[in-house]
Amino acid sequence: MSRDRDDEILDDGRRRLLEAPAANGDFAVRDEFVLAAFSELSSVVRPLLIEIRYCYRDEYWIPQAEAPEPLVRILMDQRAEGRVVVRPAWANPPAPIVVPVLDVKTLREHLAEQRPAPAGQRFDWRYLHVIAAAVRSLSPREELRFRNLPGPIKPLEKDWFAGPIGHDGWENTPPLRIDISSEYVNVELSSSVHWPPWWIPESEEGKLFNGALDRLLAQGWTERR
């Protein structure tokens, strides 16, 4: 059996899948679960670009149709400009909305936004994708070097490194990816860690990330295997 090298970026990443507590039909409660997750994870990962995909829902939360253009909104932390690859998942995406800091307060405003909807339906978000992120190093590092990259990655700011980077086939691979879906009444958070040492469970950075997810479990989230 092959073993992943601890100095390589992983294509597939190390994954964990968590489900939030039931929101009991309350959109605001659901959103607070999501925002609490981002807040808990902020000690180790900070989103730099987030894709938000919208839809219409009926009274049972069932998605009825995709929302009209723009179907997708991209939020960009201004620190990401020129430092990470902007590679949205959707064809012909809208231009990113640049914000001073892509934090919980900013995200709350975009999750709670309402627009006109057909009778008996509600405008709502359906998916959140963190497509670029900065991750925190607990050891002093002037750069990162990986075996499957030809050159170094410099820090975005002290102790924080950002990606995806713009070369060698890793344009779609952030250091750590977060995908959140709101299908019907359930919220699922899928994490995929691609860069070492964050994907290494025994490393201090790996312990920091997994510890943040474990704190969500202590708050009532459940883990799906």
Contact (Cβ atoms closer than 8 angstroms) between residue 62 and residue 120: no
The whole-number average pLDDT for the span 180-197 is 91
Give me the pLDDT at residue 168, please. 63
Range of the domain at 186: 14-220
Q: In this predicted structure, what is the pLDDT of residue 83?
A: 86
In terms of average pLDDT, the best of 4-18, 25-39, 161-175 is 25-39
5 is a domain residue:
no
Q: Find tokens 């231009």 and name the residue.
A: 95
Give the model's pLDDT for residue 2.
Answer: 39
Confidence of residue 1 (pLDDT cuts 50, 70, 90): very low
What confidence tens digit (pLDDT) does each residue in 73-127 have? Answer: 999 999 998 888 877 666 677 889 999 999 999 999 999 888 888 888 989 999 9
Residue 9 within any structural domain of the chain = no
Higher pLDDT, residue 58 or 41: 41
- Write out the E strands in 14-159: 14-19, 45-57, 63-66, 72-77, 97-99, 122-136
pLDDT at 113: 85
| Residue 6 domain flag | no
Helices (H), 42-85: none
Q: Is residue 95 part of a domain?
A: yes
Summarize the confidence of residues 181-198 as an average pLDDT.
91
Give the separation between CA 116 and CA 94, rounded to whole angstroms.
20
Q: Is residue 1 part of a domain?
A: no
Residue 169 in this model has a pLDDT that exceeds 70: no
- Band of residue 29 on the pLDDT scale cut at 50, 70, 90: very high
Residue 57 counted as domain residue: yes
pTM above threshold 0.95? no
**Whether residue 164 has a cis bond before it, omega within 30° of 0:** yes
Angle at 150 between CA 144 and CA 155, to 5 degrees: 25
Q: How many domains does the chain have?
A: 1
- Torsion 6-50-52-109 (CA) sign: positive
Letter for the amino acid at 52? Answer: I
Cα–Cα dist 43/55, whole Å: 31
Give the residue-averaged pLDDT of 63-71: 73
pLDDT top residue among 165 and 45: 45
pLDDT in tens, 116-163: 888 889 899 999 999 999 999 998 899 998 887 778 889 999 999 999
Beta-strand pair 122-136/72-77: unpaired
Q: Give burial (CB, 10 Å; 0-12/13-18/19+) of 161.
A: buried
Residue 2 lies in a domain: no
Q: What percent of the chain has pLDDT over 70?
A: 91
| In contact, 207 and 197? CB cutoff 8 Å | no
Q: What does the pLDDT look like over 33-57, one tens digit per residue?
A: 999 999 999 999 999 999 999 999 8
7 occurs within a structural domain: no
